[in-house]
Amino acid sequence: MLKFLVLPLTLLALCSCQKGPTLGPGDEDLLASAAENDCGFVQNSYGQRVSWKGNIPVRLKLHKDFPPDYEDALNKAAAHWNEAAGMTLFLFEHVSDTLPDAATKDSKNTIHWHLNWPNKNINYQGLTSLYWKTNKLYEADVAINNQHFNYFTGTNYTTIKDIHLESLLVHELGHVLGLKHRKAVPSVMWEVLNGGAIRDTLQKADRDTIKCEY
């Protein structure tokens, strides 16, 4: 699990929670013998980059509360990563089966739109949980905090506290692919997104990172 940044009230936190089970006896044989450069990705306890490997595109189910008016922002966010990788990395689908109101480990990749934020930290705009075995991701869940934040698309916001949804989704989809936060800017994976700011364009560091695994 990543250590969360405690931010002053003037800043708003993008965050991700990333989880992986402890490897059992014999699992080491499935890993490369040497650690890898992290290249901007989460790493397992053996120093291997964690990603979906060849299991692409990632299919993400949309919770029924996800606003249809915001699906265009979601598709545009995915398009940034697709273009950088030169392939389709994400597919989004509405589902007939009922998803739980909160993201849970259930072997389903989901995007939740929370009208009632279940996390104690109300400063989180979004939260992405990753699950993996050895160095392969097998589940990703994204939660968006709509209880404590208002979102805008395009370039016009109502108040300076409003969050640019496409920028937030670009960041969270980066986590879905296995990317961790970057401490240096410019990068869409920087962990702070201020109200009114637009940061939806992948930078060289982001493009170089994605090519390490995809």
pLDDT at 184: 81
Each residue's pLDDT tens digit, 88-125 = 999 999 887 777 778 889 999 999 999 999 888 999 99
pLDDT at 33: 53
Domain locations along the chain: 17-211
**Contact (CB, 8 A) for 150 and 162:** yes
pLDDT at 101: 79
**Contact (CB, 8 A) for 135 and 149:** no
**Contact (CB, 8 A) for 105 and 130:** no
pLDDT at 16: 46
Question: Which runs of consecutive H residues, i.e. helices, occur in the chain?
Answer: 71-85, 165-176, 204-211
Q: Binning pLDDT at 50, 70 and 90, where does residue 30 land?
A: low
Each residue's pLDDT tens digit, 31-83 = 555 678 999 999 999 999 999 999 999 999 999 999 999 999 999 999 999 99
CATH no., domain 17-211: 3.40.390.10
Average pLDDT over residues 168-178: 98
pLDDT at 102: 81
Percent of the chain whose pLDDT exceeds 90: 71
